A = this chain, B = another copy of it.
Amino acid sequence: MPEAIDRALGQITFDADGLVPAIAQQHDTGEVLMVAWMNREAIAITLAEGNACYWSRSRGRLWRKGETSGQVQRLVELRLDCDGDTVLLLVEQTGVACPTGRRNFFFRAWRDDGWVEIAAPLVATETLYGKGAA
């Protein structure tokens, strides 16, 4: 690992599972696309390759965003918060971030009496992942 990246990682406080929350934000519009998790290796890969790589807690492995769907996130800037325990990725999102085919994950908003969907899918899940995809 390049020394500079190793030094960058040294200033991040990972939790007991070796993870930090990572927010992906579209760099020019400010849209919050998603929140995922990163470990040391995911951050190192993201810095080295220039595309967002997360740690999938459900699959227990590294997850290069868009590896199946092609909906990659090019890293524009990586930021660290004051406590050093959360990172913010400014990215250029290709297509849609959400596996449901919506642009971002936060498509439910609370109204007076329940959650309402405020965004429709822009692309079918089958188009993103092929037939039989979850």
| A80 interface neighbour in B77, B98, B115, Cβ under 8 Å | B115
Given contacts A23-B32, A47-B110, A83-B105, 12 further A-B contacts (CB under 8 A): A8-B110, A21-B21, A25-B30, A30-B31, A30-B32, A35-B35, A77-B110, A78-B110, A79-B109, A82-B98, A82-B99, A82-B105
Do B110 and A81 touch (CB < 8 A)?
Answer: no
How many copies the complex holds: the figure is: 2
A88 within 8 Å of B (CB atoms): yes
User: CB within 8 Å of B: which residues of A?
Assistant: 4, 7-8, 11, 21, 23, 25, 29-32, 34-35, 47, 77-83, 86, 88, 98-100, 102, 105-110, 112-115, 118
